[in-house]
Amino acid sequence: MAHILITSGPTRQYLDPVRYLTNASSGRMGTALATAALENGHEVTIVSGPVEVDYPDAAKIIRVMTTLEMMDAAAMVFQKADGLIGAAAPCDYMPRKVEASKLSKTGQPLQLELIETPDIVATLGASKRSDQWVVGFALETDDVRFRSIVKMSKKCCDMIVSNRADAMNSENNSVEILFTDGQLLEQIDGPKLEVARGILSWIAKRLIKESP
Ligand code: C5P
């Protein structure tokens, strides 16, 4: 059995004490993946941004707010994990400066300066040991399979799950599971738990090395 790290949900980047940037992610795919992994007898740690969903009691949950916090927590857990499933939708940008007080309206346009946040899957993918594996998600609107394969390679993933924007905040998902060599392993349409069970089954077949 494996120790699986799952990143889940959105992150938040505050501009001031009350306003923030975020992503439309519910954490439902992360919950479904955790449930499927636990059903298969794996140990599960979830690093999650702010979500309303309930994660399974048997999973260890680490709550974070920002992408940098998610990066730090995930990097720490990954050292002792066998694999990572990156199901979170972390903010790709954060304000260069976070105001200590609420920004007041001035009647003028507001110019925000945003800087890139680290990519968690790419960072952990690039640093993974030979006995570790990384599964990413790719949300695309055009050239879905091609772009997902490019993303898998750029982020050093062993497998990637491609889905479309309508998966966000939905009960269902329609995915293609692609292997590191570009092979389409399976196309699944259905409730997120059914999709998650399919993903876990391919992870077991292709990525989890049974101890001797
Ligand atoms: O590049 P894009 O955001 O489409 O890639 C999606 C994949 O990358 C997902 O697995 C997501 O969890 C991961 N990701 C990440 N850190 C970011 C942005 C995306 O781990 N800052």
Residue 88 inside a domain? The answer is: yes
Q: What is the pLDDT tens value at each position of the chain, 212 positions in all?
A: 999 999 999 999 999 999 999 998 899 999 999 999 999 999 999 999 999 999 999 999 999 999 999 999 999 999 999 999 999 999 999 999 999 999 999 999 999 999 999 999 999 999 999 999 999 999 988 999 999 999 999 999 999 999 877 766 678 888 999 999 999 999 999 999 999 999 999 999 999 977 55
Residues forming a β-bridge with 14: 20
- 211 DSSP 8-state letter: P
Atom of ligand 1 lying closest to residue 160 CA: 10
Residue 128 inside a domain? The answer is: yes
Q: How far apart are CA 42 and CA 155, in angstroms?
A: 24
Residue 101 inside a domain? The answer is: no
pTM given for the model: 0.95
How many domains does one find in the chain? 1
Give the CATH number for residue 162. 3.40.50.10300
Give me ligand 1 centre to Cα 104, in Å: 33
Give me ligand 1 centre to Cα 118, in Å: 10
Domain, as residue range, for 131: 3-92+113-206
Handedness of CA 23, 194, 85, 148 (dihedral sign): negative
Residue 106 inside a domain? The answer is: no
Task: Respond yes or no: is residue 23 known to be catalytic.
Answer: yes
Handedness of CA 67, 159, 128, 42 (dihedral sign): positive
